[in-house]
Chain A
Amino acid sequence: GAVVSQHPSRVICKSGTSVKIECRSLDFQATTMFWYRQFPKQSLMLMATSNEGSKATYEQGVEKDKFLINHASLTLSTLTVTSAHPEDSSFYICSAPGLLGKNIQYFGAGTRLSVL
Chain B
Amino acid sequence: AQKITQTQPGMFVQEKEAVTLDCTYDTSDQSYGLFWYKQPSSGEMIFLIYQGSYDEQNATEGRYSLNFQKARKSANLVISASQLGDSAMYFCAMRESYSSASKIIFGSGTRLSIRP
Contacts and interface: CB of A to CB of B under 8 A. Distances in A.
B68 interface: no
Contacts of A45: 106
Contacts of B104: 34, 46, 95, 105
B52 A43 contact: no
Given A34-B104, A93-B45, A95-B104, 17 more contacts: A34-B103, A36-B106, A38-B43, A42-B109, A43-B107, A43-B108, A43-B109, A46-B103, A46-B104, A93-B43, A98-B100, A103-B52, A104-B47, A105-B95, A105-B100, A107-B45, A109-B42
B103 A110 contact: no
A43 B50 contact: no
B100 A103 contact: yes
A31 to B, nearest CB: 7
A97 B100 contact: yes
Interface residues of B, number: 21
5 contacts: A32-B101, A95-B45, A103-B52, A104-B50, A105-B100
A112 interface: yes
A26 interface: no
Interface of A: 31-32, 34, 36, 38, 42-46, 49, 91, 93, 95, 97-98, 100, 102-105, 107, 109-110, 112
Contacts of A46: 103-105
Interface centre among B35, B103, B107 (most CB of A within 10 A): B103
B29 interface: no
B91 A44 contact: yes
B43 A109 contact: yes
A22 B87 CA distance: 29
B50 A103 contact: yes
Given A43-B91, A93-B45, A105 B35 contact: yes
Nearest to A98: B100
A43 B106 CA distance: 7
A105 B47 contact: yes
B115 to A, nearest CB: 21
Contacts of B109: 42-43
B44 interface: yes
Contact of B101 (A31, A42, A93): A31
